[in-house]
A and B are shown apart, each in its own frame.
Chain A
Amino acid sequence: EPEVTQTPSHQVTQMGQEVILRCVPISNHLYFYWYRQILGQKVEFLVSFYNNEISEKSEIFDDQFSVERPDGSNFTLKIRSTKLEDSAMYFCASRGRGFGNQPQHFGDGTRLSIL
């Protein structure tokens, strides 16, 4: 079964540095998402991406965050100047064509640790 892959599985970065989290969604999917889960807390929506543009974003997704689908296969999340509170699991998800009942397929996440 096709799956969403995320790299790296664990990223350790100094505060203030830029970090790029990478995702390869399922190949025929059209909708792409990033979520994060701070340790012990709920899964939080960050951003959704469709047709090469952001379709929706949360309050968390401020100017330090950006997303890109540079080559038609990868989907990246960039955090420009990391803060301690950015430490979390970041999940990428993708979804095929259809309505909101179509499930999102999640990767196994990247654990981001900011020192």
Chain B
Amino acid sequence: DQQVKQNSPSLSVQEGRISILNCDYTNSMFDYFLWYKKYPAEGPTFLISISSIKDKNEDGRFTVFLNKSAKHLSLHIVPSQPGDSAVYFCAASGIAAGKSTFGDGTTLTVKP
């Protein structure tokens, strides 16, 4: 049972345009959703998070939107830069500081 799904394994966008990465989840008990970015040969690094009581959180070029009724969230990167090229993981966790359940990841390529 895959509780967190990223249905697009890859995404390619032009520099300066918007990148939209999507994530769906099945467990309505998740309280927090986090996005991590991963470069090759490195561990995931935290990017942005959102609480289940919010529908939007913004940090610079990165915005995460949460649609709780659809159990869907998305990460928007505007404008996209070549340095954003990486694998992006969506993760979900409960209220306590327990495990995070990760999606499969989406490889973003931003072309100059």
Give A contacts to B, CB under 8 Å.
4, 30-31, 33, 35, 41-45, 48, 50, 55-56, 58, 91, 93, 95, 97-109
Contact = CB atoms under 8 A, between A and B. Distances in A.
B70 interface: no
B89 interface: yes
B32 A99 contact: yes
Given A101-B32, A101-B34, 20 more contacts: A4-B43, A30-B97, A31-B97, A33-B99, A42-B102, A43-B89, A43-B102, A91-B43, A95-B97, A100-B93, A100-B97, A100-B98, A101-B49, A101-B93, A103-B34, A103-B36, A103-B46, A104-B100, A106-B44, A106-B45
Contacts of B89: 43
Name B's interface SS.
Answer: loop
Contacts, number: 70
B102 A55 contact: no
Q: Which size class do B's interface residues fall under?
A: 20 to 34
Interface string B53-78: 00000000000000000000000000
A100 B41 contact: no
Nearest to A103: B46
Interface of B: 31-32, 34, 36, 41-46, 49, 51, 89, 93-105
A104 B105 CA distance: 17
A96 to B, nearest CB: 8
A48 B43 contact: no
A68 to B, nearest CB: 19
